[in-house]
Chain A
Amino acid sequence: MPGWSTAADPAADTGWSEAPARKGFFTDGSVCIGCKACEVACKEWNGIPEDGLQMLGMSYDNTGGLGASTWRHVAFIEQPRRPVGAGSLTPLPMVAATHGQNMPASSPETGIRWLMSSDVCKHCTHAACLDVCPTGALMRTEFGTVVVQDDVCNGCGYCIPACPFGVIDRREGPAGARNVGIAQKCTLCYDRLRDGMTPACAQACPTQSIQYGDLDELRARANHRVEELHAAGVTDARLYGADPADGIGGAGAFFLLLDEPEVYGLPPDPVVTTRDLPAMWRTAAVAGATLLAGAAAAFVRARS
């Protein structure tokens, strides 16, 4: 099936032999302090330009969202504090059901809750941006991550609407400025990874809210963390993107959230668009055949 890989190991599926263990991020929103070190460390390492000096009024978020010149984005959400455990927690394919969700509420606190979490490219197992890229600028690396090759991309922009998370974007700016006109997104610091280094954001993160490592290990650690939080009564905790059975085959960069995904600006149930591509090609074949047949029919007794 074109465009739809079932391989558990995306690196092996893309021609990498003897690839290292798949790498990823576990971003734990329960310990994020919203310092934005990740945003700056990322920009500094990757030479990304400043992209906007407007105050947005979205709590302390003046970044807005991920884009061509923002590869890490810290979301800030102010909300009334609900009784512990009373937050909504719908089971979603991206949010694996966990045992904590029906725990009784304990010691309701009043006041407010300030959620913070650092968003990033998900480095999907089934990555739509990668699938639809016509130039091969987007590439799966040996680490299982997805990167844009700056020297290849011609800025067709197709990856942008393809991404179910709205991550990748084409950099705007004065012509000639660095990487203007081409698609840009988190590379999981591919260059650093190749030298055995930690990605810049994870290295900077003061509270280890951003953890980098082997994906398998991160998933185990994240599951443990959720159990720990549930035991502590934080029953709102849930993982997002940690399940290989979800619509993108599991994210290489997944999250621990304290509320529904859309509260953080994440889609509740994203599905890689190319999952439906075989069906689309079949429809296209039918359509093409219809056109051909119609055209042929039009010439039956063509002369009037």
Chain B
Amino acid sequence: MSIRTRVRQWPVLRQFTTADHLGRGTAVRSAHTEELTPRTRTADRMVQSVCPYCAVGCGQRVYVKGERVIQIEGDPDSPISRGRLCPKGSASEQLVNGPGRVTTVKYRRPFGTDWEDLPLERAMEMIADRVLDTRARTWEDADDEGNPLHRTLGIASLGGATLDNEENYLIKKLFTAIGVVQVENQARI
């Protein structure tokens, strides 16, 4: 900015040259203020979503910029929520970008005293090994009377109420196929 423009931009001068003589409005507006734009406007895209907390199912609009969620707010189109959100829904952005969110695998070895890091692929392999090992050891093919059981009671699972239907479907399908029957979720609690 040239000195000249700078001077012309000087609010004291603008107080004299514009209608805002007392310097409480247009005369004192900064260039930054003049360019103020909501970040929803400059977002790369908006996708419609659903609040992940309770089961009211409020509509959310998720704004993304630079492949990062920058804003989550109520979706006025939703006939359920009409754009409104409770404090939890309103805090969804913090759920996603939260300071405490752990984004890497943590591993605690048996009798270990602290967390260790583990590559995701390695963790998956280890879990697959544990599943098959326990399953083989605890497999029940039939009961005492010879009725088929085809199952293991050595493995259990809890959770699903916060997950998608598609996820619950794969969970139930896979667990059932490997004979895990102790599959439960919050609906029981």
- The interface of chain A, by Cβ under 8 A from chain B, is 2-3, 11, 13-17, 35-37, 39-41, 44-45, 130-131, 135-141, 147, 149-152, 189-192, 194-195, 197, 200, 203-206
Contacts and interface: CB of A to CB of B under 8 A. Distances in A.
6 contacts: A2-B22, A14-B24, A14-B26, A16-B26, A44-B71, A194-B36
A206 B89 CA distance: 11
Interface of B: 11, 18-20, 22-30, 32-33, 36-41, 71-74, 76, 83-91, 93-94
A204 B85 contact: yes
Nearest to A2: B22
A13 B20 CA distance: 7
A192 B71 CA distance: 12
B33 A149 contact: yes
Given A139-B29, A151-B33, A194-B38, A15 B20 contact: yes
Contacts of A141: 25
Contacts of B72: 44
Contact of B90 (A2, A44, A147, A197): A44
Nearest to B12: A136
A16 B38 contact: no
A139 B25 contact: yes
Contacts of B86: 35, 37, 204, 206
Contacts of B90: 37, 40-41, 44, 200, 204
A2 B15 CA distance: 14
B172 to A, nearest CB: 34
A195 B72 CA distance: 17
A113 B78 CA distance: 33
B11 to A, nearest CB: 5
B94 A44 contact: yes
Nearest to A207: B84
B83 A40 contact: no
A17 B76 CA distance: 32
The 9 closest A-B pairs by CB, nearest first: A14-B25, A136-B28, A15-B20, A15-B26, A41-B90, A40-B90, A40-B87, A15-B19, A151-B32
Contacts of B39: 191
A40 B72 CA distance: 12
A191 B25 contact: no
A64 B38 CA distance: 29
A275 B39 CA distance: 38
B16 to A, nearest CB: 12
Contact of A203 (B29, B36, B74): B74
A147 B36 CA distance: 12
A140 B30 CA distance: 12
Contacts of B25: 11, 13-16, 139-141
Contacts of A139: 24-25, 28-29, 33
A203 B83 contact: yes
Given A35-B86, A206-B84, A136 B74 contact: no
Contacts of A140: 24-25
Contacts of A194: 36-38
A44 B91 contact: yes
Contacts of A11: 25
A163 to B, nearest CB: 15
Nearest to A5: B22
B36 A190 contact: yes
A16 B24 CA distance: 11
A17 B38 contact: no
